[in-house]
A and B are shown apart, each in its own frame.
Chain A
Amino acid sequence: MPAIVVEGLERAFGEVLAVQGIDLQVDEGEIYGFLGPNGAGKTTTVRMLTTLLLPTGGHASVAGHDVVAAARQVRASIGVALQEAALDPLMTGRELIRLQATLQGLPPASGRARADGLLERVGLTHAADRRVGTYSGGMQRRLDLAAALVHEPRVLFLDEPTTGLDPVSRKTIWEEVRDLNEEGTTVFLTTQYLEEADQLADNVGIIDSGRIVAEGTPEALKGEVGNPHVELLVGEGAVPEAERVCAGLGKLLPPKDGKRVLLEVANGAADVPRVVRALDEAGIAVESLELVRPTLDDVFVAKTGHHLEKEEAGGGDEEPAGA
């Protein structure tokens, strides 16, 4: 049975249709990445699937329960870590997880044991009896994640779990998500970070302006928009000669800045040695070489005409540091 089934799901706020009839399916044990820019409808979708918002059209079921007709059963089956960490600064970490255990209906002894175990798992044992208000952003996210796991949910919803975190904290969260998934938890993850979806998700749904514009595995999606290309920085004045040499090795792409040769290669890294050898035999010095693969942003541009992530002034991607 799929963990999440969504059919024609809609949510209107007055005249505004924030989610416009989306369809998706998430299998048990999968990590599904829901990728889109701010305002695309990711959080609205998550709030409907977690019963915090009623759909105004369509249907959805989570863990086999309808989100409207069987909302309470859905809540008993899911763990949720929302975009805002939703923590009480006056409570200690231990108190908060124990409260969550009580809310989920765990017997007191089980709740205490689970709290201790989870605090250790997310590396917060040392801070367990400190007030949450003293925690760093990364610690708060880890605590939020631990609270979402207290009842061993079948499906875990993470709404932008690493937004605002430093690279180290982000990496910690990613590792935890992978571990959970290996233990069998289905994860529905929303993110605006390409690399996060790329690194974690088995399947990715790309949402823009309330509609799913693309869906598939990261590799399959990227494969749709084209092959990788090689960027070669050659000496000044050598570009025309280098282009002549490379012309037979792949498809030349429009030049970027007059100093680089861009060559699309069908076989990716396997074609690189041929290119280097050919240039070397022609006596052309290669100052630097980079194999550039299509990104999910390229997929997004192909589908929507605009970028998912803003470029920094002067160009370049703004992807977070990788694992």
Chain B
Amino acid sequence: MEAAAIPAWRTNLATIAALMTRAKNELIRVPGAAIPGVLAPTIFFLGLNGVFGALTQLQGFETGSYESFIVPVSMLQGAGFTGAAAGVNLARDYEQGWVDRLLVSPAPRWVLLTGNVLAASLRSLVPATFVLAIAFVIGAQWPGLDGLVVCYLMVAATAAVAACWGSMLALRYKSQAAAPLMQAGMMALVLFTPAYAPIELLQPWLEKVAEINPMTQVLEAARQGFVGGVTWADTWPGLVALAGLLAVLGALALREMRRTNA
């Protein structure tokens, strides 16, 4: 039987959907599997708020509510963890031979990668929502519907970026031993920003790093609703940054996927 009795785009979409369905099994069919991904950013949020909350007394903070200031950081951290976890799962699939099943099928490589990345993107909304709910309980400012939408968009796209990064490393090293690199990379990307304090209050070296780190734009876009109002001027740099990260890391991940038989 020859494949592609239906148009290629429909086959590709069906394959992406099937791979996303498989990815959700990990959350639904393994008891407690969702907990670590939700717990870690929540603990960081509550911990950082409890530890550094007094920083809002310093001049330069746009808000007196540290929980409002830090909640987007924790949501993006959660997105980073989720995306990195997608990479770790891919490495595990590789070790167990599952990836061979995908690679030996006629599905295009970009389709196989997209399924994994989109699944991470969707999955990241779970810890993000949990952290946000906790934040509201302890008094974070309501960001407005526009602020909420922008924030969730930043979170989902950051998870996609993290999944591309994790997938690239998984396909490069073909081993779960690369997990720390996946996690540390995303941690650095999210935290070497004005995560703990406004950029003006950062130490000079971190201020310089944050200025060139594209994730700074993403964080500022995600944070704007929580500390003030949403403007297009504060949103589009985040979108551009994410588009750039996705383009670069996506291309690198695809390259690794194409080179798995080298």
A associates with B: yes
Residue of A nearest to B1 (CB): A152
Is there contact, CB below 8 Å, between A102 and B15?
yes
**Residue from B3, B96, B98, B261 in contact with A106 in the complex, judged by beta carbons closer than 8 Å:** B3
Is there contact, CB below 8 Å, between B107 and A103?
yes
In the docked arrangement, what's the CA distance between A207 and B101, Å? Answer: 25
Decide: A90 near B26, CB < 8 A? Known: A51-B261, A52-B103, A76-B106.
yes
Interface size band for B: 20 to 34
Tell me how far the C-beta of A29 lies from the nearest C-beta in chain B, rounded to whole angstroms. Answer: 17
Asked whether any CB of chain B lies closer than 8 Å to the CB of A108, the reply is yes
**Residue from A50, A76, A102 in contact with B2 in the complex, judged by beta carbons closer than 8 Å:** A76
Asked whether any CB of chain B lies closer than 8 Å to the CB of A16, the reply is no
In the docked arrangement, what's the CA distance between A99 and B5, Å? Answer: 17
Contact with A along B221-262 (1 / 0, CB 8 A): 000000000000000000000000000000000000000111
Is there contact, CB below 8 Å, between B15 and A90?
no
Is there contact, CB below 8 Å, between B25 and A105?
no
Decide: A107 near B106, CB < 8 A? Known: A54-B261, A88-B22.
no
In the docked arrangement, what's the CA distance between A53 and B100, Å? Answer: 10
- Give 18 new A-B contacts, CB below 8 A, not counting A90-B29, A106-B5: A51-B103, A72-B106, A76-B3, A80-B104, A86-B96, A88-B22, A88-B25, A91-B22, A99-B19, A102-B14, A102-B18, A104-B3, A104-B106, A105-B4, A106-B1, A106-B3, A147-B101, A152-B1
Is there contact, CB below 8 Å, between B96 and A103?
no
For the complex of A and B, 10 pairs with smallest distance between CB atoms = A105-B3, A86-B97, A84-B97, A103-B105, A152-B1, A76-B106, A102-B18, A75-B106, A90-B25, A105-B11
Is there contact, CB below 8 Å, between A50 and B1?
no
Tell me how far the C-beta of A21 lies from the nearest C-beta in chain B, rounded to whole angstroms. Answer: 20
Contact with A along B141-169 (1 / 0, CB 8 A): 00000000000000000000000000000
Asked whether any CB of chain A lies closer than 8 Å to the CB of B137, the reply is no
Asked whether any CB of chain B lies closer than 8 Å to the CB of A94, the reply is no
Residue of B nearest to A133 (CB): B29
**Residue from B1, B6, B18, B103 in contact with A99 in the complex, judged by beta carbons closer than 8 Å:** B18
Is there contact, CB below 8 Å, between A131 and B29?
yes
In the docked arrangement, what's the CA distance between A282 and B225, Å? Answer: 109
Decide: A104 near B22, CB < 8 A? Known: A82-B97, A152-B1.
no
In the docked arrangement, what's the CA distance between A102 and B3, Å? Answer: 10
Asked whether any CB of chain A lies closer than 8 Å to the CB of B54, the reply is no
Residues on B close to A: CB < 8 A? 1-6, 11, 14-15, 18-19, 22, 25-26, 29-30, 96-98, 100-108, 260-262
Is there contact, CB below 8 Å, between A78 and B101?
no
In the docked arrangement, what's the CA distance between A87 and B1, Å? Answer: 23
Which residues of B sit under 8 angstroms from A50, Cβ to Cβ? 104
Asked whether any CB of chain B lies closer than 8 Å to the CB of A142, the reply is no
Which residues of B sit under 8 angstroms from A73, Cβ to Cβ? 106
Mostly helix, strand, loop or mixed at chain B's interface?
Answer: loop
Residue of B nearest to A52 (CB): B261
A-B contact pairs, 19 of them (CB 8 A): A50-B104, A72-B106, A73-B106, A75-B106, A78-B104, A80-B104, A86-B96, A86-B97, A86-B100, A98-B18, A103-B101, A103-B102, A103-B106, A104-B106, A105-B106, A106-B5, A108-B14, A131-B29, A147-B101
Is there contact, CB below 8 Å, between B105 and A51?
no
A-B contact count (CB 8 A): 88
In the docked arrangement, what's the CA distance between A84 and B2, Å? Answer: 26
Which residues of B sit under 8 angstroms from A47, Cβ to Cβ? 261
In the docked arrangement, what's the CA distance between A82 and B30, Å? Answer: 26
In the docked arrangement, what's the CA distance between A100 and B101, Å? Answer: 8
Decide: A84 near B104, CB < 8 A? Known: A104-B3, A105-B3, A106-B3.
no
Tell me how far the C-beta of B110 lies from the nearest C-beta in chain A, rounded to whole angstroms. Answer: 13
In the docked arrangement, what's the CA distance between A230 and B30, Å? Answer: 60
Asked whether any CB of chain B lies closer than 8 Å to the CB of A85, the reply is yes
Is there contact, CB below 8 Å, between A107 and B6?
yes
Asked whether any CB of chain B lies closer than 8 Å to the CB of A112, the reply is no
Residue of B nearest to A77 (CB): B2
Tell me how far the C-beta of A148 lies from the nearest C-beta in chain B, rounded to whole angstroms. Answer: 9
| Chain A residues numbered 254-275 whose CB sits less than 8 Å from any CB in chain B | none
Tell me how far the C-beta of A105 lies from the nearest C-beta in chain B, rounded to whole angstroms. Answer: 3
In the docked arrangement, what's the CA distance between A103 and B101, Å? Answer: 9
Residue of A nearest to B28 (CB): A90
Tell me how far the C-beta of B255 lies from the nearest C-beta in chain A, rounded to whole angstroms. Answer: 15
Residue of A nearest to B111 (CB): A103
In the docked arrangement, what's the CA distance between A181 and B90, Å? Answer: 35
Is there contact, CB below 8 Å, between A75 and B14?
no
In the docked arrangement, what's the CA distance between A102 and B97, Å? Answer: 19
Residue of A nearest to B109 (CB): A72
Tell me how far the C-beta of A156 lies from the nearest C-beta in chain B, rounded to whole angstroms. Answer: 12
In the docked arrangement, what's the CA distance between A321 and B15, Å? Answer: 41
